[in-house]
Every structure is written in structure tokens, then in C-alpha cells.
Amino acid sequence: MEAETKIIEENPVDLKIGSNYLGKKHHPAIGIRIPEIFLTGIVNSLQKHKCAAGLMLSFGRETAPDEIINAPPGRYEITLGHTGTSIRKYLVAGSRAARSAAIPVEMEADHLIITESSAIAVKRIEGIKTPKLIGNAALEKAIKYNVQAVEEAVSTGLVRAYTTDASDLFDEDVTKFKMTALRKRLNEYFTEEEREYISKNLVGKHRLRGADNKVVRLEINKERAIKLALKYRHSVNINARLFEEISSRMKHPFAWEISLDETEKPTPPADLFIFLGLWKMKGLPCDYVAPNVGFQKREDFTGDMEMFRNRVRALNAVADLYGSMLSFHSGSGATPYSGKGQGVYETILEATGGKLKYKISGVYYELLIELLAGHKKGTDARILYELIHKEVMDFLRKQIETKGPLHSELLKKQISTYDQAKQEFDPRAECFRYNSFLALNFRDQKGRRYYRERLIRLYLDDLKLKKQVDQEVEALTSRLIEGLKFANNY
């Protein structure tokens, strides 16, 4: 059969200052890990470019409910809520800053992750994947935690967007099954009506329309459709469960985004077609979808640009068909100054027709660390940087020695490279750059996050440093806005 092409248009939403539901809008989404330091520069850039943006933190890693943020040291994993910024705090701070600047923003609950632990979620960032599926007990625990986090977000009255991540529920094993076993499982997990839907709507030759108005062809035979339906059915079901939990609590319209990004390889267009087809079968909305487009976290994209363009063009056509816009995750590059690498922004704009969502977060903290490292020896900024660097490296070495939660062969190799290359106090050394965020959650016996507090105090007290940080944060935000043409989007 041929799929009917449906090209979406951005929702005409009347925006007010402060927190809004933006609708399907071409915009950036920005992580505000330390609102006290980063909001000034970010908001200045948004105001200057007349850019409506999302302000967010990851619920599975970066932020957490007040109860967890304020708990005694050691009760929870160091990676959970590792910014030391609670859900309530970042939502209130972001919305308040937007109102003061008279700009619209969308306060987002980013990455409601269904996984066994925050340490596993953090390891994903370095490309360390967990091959086994999450068990039922861990699944229910993860859902319970996310509902707790959502309730705190909803209680502020400010949250207007959610991104879920149930990538750990993808069942890769079924793709190895033969047709007899596939049919048996299909009959077990899908009703007769659902099986008929899959056969009529997802199997066949599909002609989709690309952003350039040219045809994108997609062919999915019955065996492949069944394999992919079985691969994604559990993730789709849990996403639907989360949607119902959230919609029952929300009193305002909200954006819904599903992430498929946390995989080892890029998402094939056929996979996205089947996933969104199953989601449509549920009759639920999806404003944005984030497939894996081939980006590595914290690295510039250096792959074949033509292949990348064609991949994004096809994925965008699939998203369009189902009434969604593409969202690009892992948007930070190798440095705060590289974007995502030469030519990437231009290619994305071309392949999507200039309609997309793009997320960055950790790069702002990396920028702050680099600025501190750039100060002269003996200055307050440099002293604080060296203390952070040393304690982070000491912590990582201990993780390797004791086989702690962050232990991995990759981390072991990175530390070895660090030592052999004599990278002491290098802010761009991989083992430090990938893990420097941990310093924000280092705590003393009284529970004080001493480095987080010292960073804020130094920023506020050293007016010259504050000016430098504000200007650099604004410049970083402006490079993103200008590079992806987000200016004047309201």
C-alpha cells in the first residue's frame, strides 16, 4: 500500500510572557543546570533574537524532586539530581527569568527515563549501553519515580512539555526470530484488530514526501513489520502509560515528545515508521519525536554528510506523515565553540525544511569550567577549577579501584590515556570532560554541595568573571539560534 503523505504546519499558538505550551514550533530547548549562573546569558540571547525556547532539565539525571535533592548524602546515587537543582527550583527560576525579560518559554520536563538506575542513564552518555531488558520490578520502580517527579513539576503550575525515554524497553532479541515464532508472539501481544491495523497500514510500499517536496520511498515486508512491532511494542505501551499518568494530572495543554535516541546505532526510517504507527494506533498525540540521527553525545559529527542528509530527510518525512516534528538530541559538540561540527546545522535545516527542535544542555557547564581553567594560576577562578578537577579525577579513580557504579572499561581506558598523555588539569581531557558534572553533587557531612555553592558565590562576587560568563553564555546561545535560524519564531 501507499502511505498518505501529511505535511504538518506549526501550531498557531498565542504566546504570553513566561511559561507556555509552544505547540509544534521550530525552536531550541536548553538545559539550565545551574540557573543562578546560566539564565542571565541564555535569556539575554533569547530576548535579543526574539526566540521562544524550551528551558529544561533531565528528570532521569540532572534534576530530581526536592525530597531527593535535600536528602542526606549517600542515600541516593550521586548521578541522580546531580546538578543539585531541584525540579521545583529550575521550573520556577526559568519561568521567573522569562517573565522578567518579557519573553515566552516552554518549561520542559526532559527525559523521563525508564531505566534501572541513574548511573546506567549517565553511562549511556559515554556510549555504554545495557544490552539486557529492564525487569518488571525495576520497571515499576522507574515508573513510580517518574510519577513522583511529574507530580512535583505539575504542582508548580509551570511545566508545559514532557520528553520520555523508554529505549531500554526495545526488545532487540525478537529481530533474530523466525517467522513461526514471530507469528506466535504477534498473536500473544496484539489483538486481532491491532494485527489487522499492522497488516493494512504498516506493511507495504510507502511513498512519503520529503521537506524538499521530493518522494521518500519506504518498503516494509510483513516479516520486518512484525519484528519491529514486537521490538517496540513494550516501549510504546509504557510511553502510553506515562502519557495517561501525566495527562490525568495536567490542567494545561502540554507538548509530548518521545525519544528513541538512546541506541547504539542510528534509527532506520522503517523503525521510526513502525514505532509511530503503533503510537498512532493508540490514538495518542506526539508533537516531537527524537530518533538517533547518528550523533554522539559531546562530540562533533564527523560522518558522511550526504548520508546524514538523506537519513534526516527520510526520518523527517516519516515524522511529518504522523504529525510530528523531529527533535535532535545530543546536540552539544566537542567544545562550546564548535556547534555540532562544520556544516551540520545547514544540513539539518535543509533536510527538515527548517522545522525542528534542537536540544543542548551540558555544554554550558563545560563552558563555565573552561572559562575558570583559562584564568591565571593563583586566581580564585583557577584555584576553584583545580580543586574541582582534582577531586573529580580522584573520584573516578576510586570508581575504577572499587568497581563502583560508574566503573567501565571505557572509563578505565580514558584515565589511562589521561595519565599517559600527561593531561593534568586539561579541561578537555575526555575522562574529566565527560564526568566534571559530578562536582556539582559532591557534598560535605552537612549535606552542602560545596562546589556548586562556591561556583555560584564566585560568579556573583567576582563582577569581572560574571560579565565574562554572561557574555560567553549569551554568545553560545546566539550561535545556536543563528546557526539553526531560530530567531523571530514568535
Mean pLDDT of 388-399: 98
Per residue in 154-177, pLDDT (tens digit) is 999 999 999 999 999 999 999 999
296 vs 187: CA distance, rounded Å: 37
Q: How confident is the model at residue 395 (pLDDT cuts 50, 70, 90)?
A: very high
In this predicted structure, what is the pLDDT of residue 116? Answer: 80
109 vs 107: CA distance, rounded Å: 7
β-pair type (204-209, 215-220): antiparallel
Full-model pTM: 0.94
Residue 356 has pLDDT above 70, yes or no: yes
Tell me whether residue 395 is exposed, middle or buried, using C-beta atoms within 10 angstroms of its C-beta: 0 to 12, 13 to 18, 19 or more.
middle
110 vs 98: CA distance, rounded Å: 18
CA torsion sign for 145, 146, 151, 156 is positive
Residue whose C-alpha is closest to residue 261's, from 296, 299, 297, 291: 291
Distant-in-sequence contacts of 409-418, Cβ < 8 A, 24+ apart? 410/126, 410/127, 410/128, 411/126, 411/435, 418/393
Residue whose C-alpha is closest to residue 366's, from 412, 429, 416: 429
Per residue in 322-333, pLDDT (tens digit) is 999 999 999 999
Q: What are phi and psi of 164, to 5 degrees?
A: -105, 155
Residue partners of 197: CB distance under 8 A and separation at least 6:
281
Share the mean pLDDT of the chain.
94
57 vs 283: CA distance, rounded Å: 28
Mean pLDDT of 118-134: 58
Per residue in 430-468, pLDDT (tens digit) is 999 999 999 999 999 999 999 999 999 999 999 999 999
Residue partners of 135: CB distance under 8 A and separation at least 6:
116
In this predicted structure, what is the pLDDT of residue 120? Answer: 61
Strand partners, 28: 358
In this predicted structure, what is the pLDDT of residue 134? Answer: 82
**What are the angstrom distances between the C-alpha of 177 and each of 135, 268, 464?**
21, 19, 63
